[in-house]
Amino acid sequence: MSAKKSAEELKSIFQKYAAKEGDPDQLSKKELHLLIKAEFPNLLKSSSTIDDLFKELDKNGDGEVSFEEFQVFIKKISQ
C-alpha cells in the first residue's frame, strides 16, 4: 500500500472532520488540527504549525477551510 492517500480518501477525510462542528462543509481550525493530528501526524513535526497552515489554506479569510481551499493542502502533501 502506498503511503499517499487517494483523492477519494482525502475527500472522505475532509468530510469526516468538517462535520464535527459548525458548518459540515467547512473545516474550522480545531477540525483541521484534529485531522492533521490523526491523519498526517508527521506534518506536525515539520516547522509549520497549525496556525501557519490554517492561515495559508484559508485564502478568503473567513476562519474556515472549504474543500476548495483544502486542495492547496492536498497539493502540498502529494508533492
Shortest distance in whole angstroms from residue 57 CB to Ca ion: 8
Nearer to Ca ion, 22 or 29 (CB): 22
What x/- string results for residues 28 through 67 when contact with Ca ion is judged by CB under 5 A?
------------------------------x-x-x-----
- Among 18, 35, 36, 53, interactor with Ca ion by CB under 5 A: 18
CA separation for the pair 13, 36 (Å, rounded): 10
Q: How far is CA 9 from CA 35, 40, 59, in A?
A: 13, 13, 23
CA distance 62 to 25: 13
